[in-house]
Structure 1
Amino acid sequence: MNELLDLLRSVIKLEKGNRIVDRRVAILVGYREEPSSGKPQWVDPEGGPAKSPPFFTSDIDNAMILHRLIAPNERVAVSWDEDGGYAKLGNTGPVSCKTPAIALTAACIAFLAKRTHTKIEN
């Protein structure tokens, strides 16, 4: 199974933010762990230090960081209501998830999948 589609499915299924998924998304967009004495240190995509992967799936501000990393020149729309969160990025279809942060994270991954010509099936 395609790793990108597997990650997208994992994000869409989330009921709440998930640090394991956040880590997978972070690695996808260029964050990396570097060994050091003791606890591994995280490095952001630009080579700067990071305390940990961003909370993409639980914090809308962190999900917006993901948008800027994946598609900084594309329009993004995010909304929510009593049923959950919705997001649309560029020319991808809207994504519906439990929260706005999860929806935007999923929309970013869907955009990346489309940009890399990965076939997305429902």
Structure 2
Amino acid sequence: MAISDLILQLQHAKGPNYDLDVSIGIVMGYKRKVEMRGPDESKDRKVVWLYPKKGDEVSLPRFTENLEDAYFLTRSILPGCVGGVSWDEEGGTAKLDNGAYFTAATPALALCIAALSGAFAEDDDAPETLPNSLPPS
């Protein structure tokens, strides 16, 4: 999925969405591995996520649900940025550095949109996934 498509889907999301969390995780470099666990006669399929840099088995962050996970996304792809998040009864708003204000159904969604938009600001040649390390902004 192109980054611009992911941002558009985040903007139209009505709330937290695990499929969008998966897309963000893949963009960040998380690797998904399917394992068959259990005794031979009753193996269960288990999806395992591997952290991008160390390869450690981790739980996939809930970027679209949890504000701390959205903040982790922001600090990972835009180290050194500053910004803010606010919310009211209608949803959330986020702004990073000198970028635009982004609104969404929740503050976590707004922060995800702001982070991805800041990292890939209208670049038609933006990669489908993030490089292994981004220089500080």
Both structures adopt the same fold (TM-score exceeding 0.5): yes
Normalising by structure 2, report the TM-score.
Answer: 0.77
Greater helix share, 1 or 2?
1
Give how far 1:111 is off.
0.9
CA distance in 2, matches of 1:54, 1:108: 15
Aligned to 2:53, the other structure's residue is in SS state coil
Structure 1 residues 8-52: Cα deviation after superposition (integer angstroms, max 9, x where no partner): 00001011100000000010011111233331311112222212x
**Structure 1 residue 78 corresponds to structure 2 residue 77:** no
RMSD of Structure 2 on Structure 1 (CA): 1.8
Structure 1 residues 33-87: Cα deviation after superposition (integer angstroms, max 9, x where no partner): 1233331311112222212x21100110110110111112111211111221000
Alignment of 1:50-61 (within 5 A): 50-51=58-59, 53-61=60-68
Aligned to 1:17: 16
Aligned to 1:36: 35
Structure 1: which 5+ residue stretches go unaligned? none
CA distance in 2, matches of 1:8, 1:118: 13
Say how many residue pairs are matched: 116
* One-letter amino acid matched to 1:30: G
Which contiguous aligned blocks of 4+ residues in structure 1 show a shift greater than 6 angstroms?
Answer: none
The alignment-based identity, stated in percent, is 30
